[in-house]
Amino acid sequence: MKKAGLNYLLLLMALPLLAACSDEEATAPAATVQVELQNMVGVQPLQLDASTYTSPAGDTYVVSNFKYYISNVKLISSKGEATFLEPESYHLIGGEGKTTFELKEVPAGTYDKIELSIGVDEAHNHSTDQVGDLDPSNEMVWDWDTGYKFLSLVGTYTGDTGNGGLVFHVGGDVNYKTLTLDLPQALNLRQQPNATLRLQADVNELFQNPNLIDFDVMHAGGHGAGPSMIAENYSNGFLKVVEVK
Amino acid sequence: MQTLRNLLLPFLLLIAAFACSPDKEEVEPEVEPFEPTPYELVLPKTFPQNFKVPADNPLTEEGVLLGRHLFYEKRLSGDNTMSCGSCHQQEKAFTDGRALAVGIDGVAHRRSAMSLSNLLWFFLFNWDGSALSLEDQARIPIESEIEMHQSLAEAVKELQATGLYPPLFRKAFGSDTITEERILKAIAQFERTLISADSRYDRYLLDEGTFTEDELEGMKLFMTHPEPGIGLRGGNCGDCHGGVLLSMRTFHNNGLDEVLTDLGYGAVTGREVDKGKFKAPSLRNIALTAPYMHDGRFQTLEEVLDHYNEHIKENSPHLSPLITEATNEVGGKTLLLTEEEKRKIVTFLHTLTDSTFITDKRFSDPFK
C-alpha cells in the first residue's frame, strides 16, 4: 500500500508539468473525417458465403472472399478553397480487412468531392515500402514483379451453360483507377468537425457498365483483357458516396 | 522504506527533466527492481513490419531464454520423456519426419506435426486454426492425451520443485512463482523468435544472391495463376502459398478426398463451407519437412506436385475455386503442367531452405 501511495504522489506531481506542455503546443483544431465503406450487391449488404446473388448478365453467384485497395484519398473543394491528401493512404477494404478509416488533421474548409483510387499506385506497387495497409504477407500480394492484387473476388457461379468457381484477381498498373465522387451534400468542417462519409460499393457494378460480364464466357482472370474489363467497370459506378453525416 | 525515499528524489528530478521533452517520453513511476531486457527482432526489409505481439506478453531476453528451456523441457510430458522439441526438431525445420505425430503413449495423432517458423505473423494456429494465439496453442499438445499427456497444473508443481526454473521465472516475470499462464507465455515468446529469413529465396529478393534459370522459371510458375487464354502458364501455388511468408494464412480444401474424414477448419467454425479446409501452411524449408499434407500422405515434393497437377478430387465438397479455376490449357479440367514445369517448381522449392535457421544456436536445445 505504501508503495502504491508513493507512485500516486509521483504521478500527481508530474501531471501539471505535462499539462503545461500541451498548452504551449495548442494549434487550430483539425477535423477528423470518418470514411465508412459498405459492400453491397444492388441494395442488399454483401454477405460472404451466405447469399446467392444474380449478376447483371443473369447468372447466379456466391461470394466467399472479396477485398480491394482504396488508396490516395483526397478531399476536394470545388471552389479551390482547400484540398486534403491523406498521407500514406493505402486501405485494404473487406475480407478480414477494415470497413472504415479515419482521415486525420483535415484542414477546416468546405469540401464537396472525394477523390480516391482503386489499387496501388505504380511507385508503391513495385517497392518493398510498407506504408498503410501495404503488407508483403497479406493475401493481396501477387509476386514481386506484378505487385499487389488491387481487387480480389473469389466465389462460385451457376451460369446458363456451366458452373464452377469465380476467381477475379485484378491488378497491374494499367488497372489502377482514380475516381472522383461527388458528396451528396457539401461538408463544412467548421460546422461539422466530426463528420462521417458513408460510401457503398456495389459488387454487381463490377460486372456491368460499360462491360457486361457473362460468367459463362469469363469467370476467372488476373492478367490481360478480362481483368481490365472489370477495372473499367470499377471506375464507373462501383463506388458512390451515399451520405454525409 | 529508507531506500525507497532515497530513490524518490532522483525520480522527481527525472520527471521534471522529461516532462517537456519533445518526444514526450513517459516516465515509469515503477520502483520495482524487475527490468527485463527487451528482445530485439532483426528482420529484413522484405518482411512485413506490422506484426503484433500481445500487449501482456512482450518479448524479453529473459522470457525467450526461459521459453527455450521450456520448449526442450521433458518434464512437460506425463512420463518426462518428451518435450515440444521431440516432434519439432530444429534440423528438420521443427518437424519430426513422420507422417503422423506420435505422443508419449505411442499412439499416433490424426495429423502431422507442423513446421514452426515465422509464427509471429500468423494468427490462427494448428492445421485447423483451432488456437487463436501461440499462448493458447502451447497448452494443447502438453495436455493432449495422445501428445505429451501432462496436466499443466502438474507441470507447474514439478518445475517449481527444481533448482533451475524458479530463478529463470524470476528473471522473466519478476517472481519465483511458476504459473500455467507464465509457462505458456514463455513458450510463446520463444516461438515468436523462430524467424526464418535467410533462405536463398530471401537473398534473391534482397538482391544479395542469384537464381539459376530453372529456379527463376520455377519461381515464376509457382507464383502465377495460369491463364491459357493469353498463353500465361502457371503452377498456381502462390494463390495460397504466396508472399514473403510463403503462405497467405488462409484455409482451403485442396481436393485430397472425396469423402471427408477430418473436417479440419469446418469442425472449428461449424460452417458447412469450411468442412475439409486446412491451413495452407508456409512452405519455408519445405524440402526439410516431408512427409506432406495435414496427414502426411505424400512422401515427396514430386508426389505433392502430382496431386495438384493430376489427382485433385473434383467432387470433394467445397473444393477451392482457386484450384478448380486453374488450368494451363483452354478448356482443361486439370492444371496440366508439363513434367519439366513440375521439376522447375520443385527446384524453386529447394531455394526456400534456410540453413542459418536450422543451425541457429539461439533456437537449439539448451540441455545439450
- What are the residue boundaries of the structural domains of chain A, listed by start? 39-93+109-179+201-238
Q: Is the pLDDT of residue A183 over 70?
A: yes
Binding residues of B: 84, 87-88, 237, 240-241
More confident residue, A123 or B10: A123
Cβ atoms of A226 and A65 within 8 Å: the answer is no
Question: CB distance A223–B223 less than 8 Å?
Answer: no
Cβ atoms of A78 and A153 within 8 Å: the answer is no
| Banded pLDDT at A142 (limits 50, 70, 90) | confident
Residues B113-134 have a mean pLDDT of 97
- Residue identified by cell 483510387 is A117
Q: Each residue of B40-57: b (16+ CB within 10 Å) or e? A: eeeeeebbbeebeeeeeb
Q: Is A64 on the interface with B (CB under 8 A)?
A: yes
Superfamily of domain B61-195: Cytochrome c-like domain (1.10.760.10)
* % of chain A with per-residue pLDDT over 70: 87
Q: Each residue of A150-173: b (16+ CB within 10 Å) or e? A: bbbbbbbbebeeeebbbbbbbbbe
Question: Which of the given ranges, A220-224, B47-51, B84-88, has the highest pLDDT on average?
Answer: B84-88
Residues A93-111 have a mean pLDDT of 90
Residues B340-351 have a mean pLDDT of 98
- The three cell numbers locating residue A8: 500516486
CA-based nearest residue in chain A for residue B204: A144
Q: Going by C-beta distance under 8 Å and a sequence separation of 6 or more, which residues neighbour residue B281?
A: B114, B115, B127, B247
Residue B50 confidence (pLDDT):
85
Q: Going by C-beta distance under 8 Å and a sequence separation of 6 or more, which residues neighbour residue B339?
A: none
Query: What would be the CATH architecture of the domain defined by B200-352?
Result: Orthogonal Bundle (1.10)
**In chain B, where the domains are located:** 61-195, 200-352
Residue B132 confidence (pLDDT):
97
Residue A7 confidence (pLDDT):
53
Q: Is the pLDDT of residue B29 over 60?
A: no
Residue A30 confidence (pLDDT):
82
- Residues of chain A neighbouring B12 (CB-CB closer than 8 A): 10, 13
Residues B97-118 have a mean pLDDT of 97
| Banded pLDDT at B305 (limits 50, 70, 90) | very high
How many CB atoms within 10 Å of residue A142?
A: 24
Q: Which of A7, A137, A148 to mutate to test the interface with B (most CBs of B within 10 A)?
A: A137
- The three cell numbers locating residue B236: 498456381
| Banded pLDDT at A96 (limits 50, 70, 90) | confident
A168 has which bridge partners? A153, A221
| Banded pLDDT at A138 (limits 50, 70, 90) | confident
| Banded pLDDT at A97 (limits 50, 70, 90) | confident
Residues B261-269 have a mean pLDDT of 98
More confident residue, B86 or A17: B86
How many CB atoms within 10 Å of residue B318?
A: 19
Residues B96-104 have a mean pLDDT of 98
Lowest mean pLDDT among A58-72, A200-214, A219-233, B203-217: A219-233
| Banded pLDDT at B130 (limits 50, 70, 90) | very high
Residues B78-91 have a mean pLDDT of 98
- Residues of chain A neighbouring B205 (CB-CB closer than 8 A): 144
Residue A27 confidence (pLDDT):
55
Give B320 to chain A, closest Cα distance, Å. Answer: 8
**DSSP code, position B76:** G
Asked if the domains at B61-195 and B200-352 fall in one CATH topology, the answer is: yes
Q: Is A22 on the interface with B (CB under 8 A)?
A: no
Residues B313-331 have a mean pLDDT of 95
Cβ atoms of B260 and B252 within 8 Å: the answer is no
Q: Is the pLDDT of residue B27 over 60?
A: no
Could you say which of A64, A139, A142 has the minimum Cβ distance to residue B273? A64
- Residue identified by cell 508456409 is B282
| Banded pLDDT at B126 (limits 50, 70, 90) | very high
Lowest mean pLDDT among A50-54, B34-38, B225-229, B355-359: B225-229
Q: Is the pLDDT of residue B255 over 80?
A: yes
